[in-house]
Amino acid sequence: MTEPSVLDYLKSILDPRRPRIRLADYEEDRSDQIVDELFPSESEPVQKVESEVEVAAIVGSPFRWRITASVLSLLVGQFLFEPPIQNLYLGLAFYVIGTAFLVLSIILNDWDFSEIPGAEPVNDLSTWRVNWKAFGMGTISMMVSFFFLTGNVFNSFNIVFWIFSIVCYVQAFSEHELIGEFGKKILSLFKTKINFSQAVQISWWQILLVVLTLVIIFFRFHQLNEVPGEMFSDQAEKLADVSDILNGQYSVYFPRNTGREAFQMYLTALIATTLGTGLSFMSLKIGTALAGLFTLPFIYLLGKEIGNKQIGIIAFFLAGIAYWPNVISRVGLRFPLYPLFVAPTLYYLIKGLRHSRKRDFILAGIFMGIGLHGYSPARMLPIVAVIAIAIYLLHMKTRDEKKGSVFGLMVVAMMAFIVFMPLFHYVLGNLDMFSYRALTRMGTLESAYPGNPILIFFENLFKASVMFFWKNGEIWVHSVPNRPALDIISAVFYFIGSVYVLIRYIQKRNWVDLFLLLSVPLLMMPSIMSLAFPGENPSLNRTGGAVIPVFILVAIGLEGFLRTLVNQARQIGRKPYLAMGLGFLFFSFAIMQNYTLVFEDYKERFFRSAWNSSDMGAVIWEFASTYGDYEHAYVVPYDYWVDTTLVGIAARKDVTNIAIWPEQFESTLEYPGAKLFILKPDDFANIETLQKMYPYAVYWRHVDQYEGKDFLVLFVPPANSVPLLPDQPVN
């Protein structure tokens, strides 16, 4: 039957002479079409099973019960690990039962997990040739840039030569492949004729991708101004560095506050000027939220590369809504820069090894080099790359494969070094500053080891390895303390994916499986190696690079489960309603739990723990806008209280420390105009001193909704005037 057009349908309604078209006659069940597009069948379609006995035999087979028992047991076990229950022993009991069923069902091939697709090399890396002319020009340009990188300062001269050297090395190693192909693609855009009839065709896959992307964007930018709502001292230091840039000081490395790499500072300066957000917490948060968002496409690509697009999109979505990467992207610090550059580096490195593609090694090196300008845990990336290629070498048999991969490693190292080069120049003269933060955690530079460092290392390794299921640390700044790093659904399928990949490696010895498993602890090493301060491990910020392999493993487990259900439905010729229903249920539960974790639990805990510097800044801003000015508004410091620079930023929108110390009180008597002092209510000595100095001052207590966050405001009116301000007694 030919399907009628919309015009035919309208004519049948408006013209009584035409037979009425009933849409029900032409409607089709689209569920098969959707599922086939999302989970394409890898074999010939199975004929529908008509016999109820045959159906019951398939549905009631041990095949289904083993899988069901494993997933249900693991879900119950993980639920018991969740706060406030956290029943360790009962949860472990269910995990042991679930693991037994899981291993048995995998060994007996009950699951329909996706295999790693076969690699198709496009180049023979053993015959890789170098464009020595471009290599020589790049070397000379790099040396010139290195020579003029003096004083820890970028300038137009050394930047131009630095960028030119990068271009030359790309040309030298790609043999025109990378630049040439890029140029051809640009030219093809102008020559391509658009077929509009084909351009408007939309698939279910595209619709799904758009919907999931919108959900992720909502999760990453919803309540960005409020979650988190207060700054702490680290953000003040970052804004001071950004202020230096805006004032013309273009540093390669920022030594303030034990030293910081430059990427975030320049990104924030760009956002502050282009979006008009200025020196503010929002400028920091917009930059880091974007960094977290731009990580996700590479998670999708990596999942697709070592699995399929279904694995890619599941990893993309669950990582996009997950509490762990979301929270570290909202704090406004450099934390999300670690996974931001781990993701493309791993993607291009694995792709380069699997397909022998030259441009992938080049891009892996470029992203690695940029990552070294981002967040200090990214210094683990070169080690991870070396281990990846070492694993590849151990699994390859031919001489040419080994020779080509070694050359690929050299290209990655060279490209990473040339991008890292300005920072390398700084390191040569300032190794102590560059390595200070790491040495205080790994060594005894700041504190002695609290025990045997070898035992501490293995304890840290264990704690970091189980943080996905048990406790993710005690740091309220970037986590909900003492809860699992993953939601219930992600934790269970991370476990399932990890067990399956381990068994698959034992059976098939694919190097990608081994590297995927090892990359998780390797990328968490910046946290694990906190030997002098083991209380800082695990930490969601220093383990952030592990987000990428963790959610790939989550996706492998969940995709295998859903694919198994779909194939079971196909075996008996039934609609895949169970797979669709469970998939919707799992994703919905993950959405709800992660929303609660970020926008309720984390938000509440953060406000209870952080000092309310923005409220103090608002009081000073109102004072400066009415009775006084910023120069005569002060915060009296008190031990373990608010950072006075943060109050200045909140009030003035610039980096100003508005602290006044007790020995400076006398100097304020010289100014006859209005003055404002903010004090901690517990600071009785200074309150008494100011009362004696200004007996005519007006006092009131700012009462905060959270206990322990009140502060005292002392307003000194101008000489010979009576202020129209609330006069409240000091409690």
For 187-223, write each residue's pLDDT tens digit: 565 555 545 445 456 778 888 999 999 999 999 999 9
pLDDT, tens only, 91-143: 999 999 999 999 999 999 999 999 888 877 766 666 678 889 999 999 999 99
576, containing H or E segment: none
Q: Answer whether residue 630 shows pLDDT above 50.
A: yes
* Euclidean distance between CA atoms 314 and 299, whole angstroms: 10
Burial label, 562 (beta-carbon count in 10 A; 0-12, 13-18, 19+): buried
- Rounded to an integer, what distance in angstroms lies between the CA atom of residue 567 and that of residue 562? 9
Q: Which of 191-195, 281-285, 716-720, 722-726 is predicted most confidently?
A: 281-285
Residue 598 is given by DSSP the state: I
Tell whether the model's pLDDT for residue 58 goes beyond 50.
no
Contact 464, 519 (CB under 8 A): no
Name, of 43-52, 118-127, 445-454, the range with top average pLDDT: 445-454
Helical ranges in 275-336 per DSSP H:
281-306, 309-321, 323-330
Q: How far is CA 393 from CA 388, 406, 549, 556, in A?
A: 9, 8, 21, 25
Mean pLDDT, all residues of the chain: 88
Greater model confidence, 345 or 256: 345
Residue 153 pLDDT greater than 50, yes or no? yes
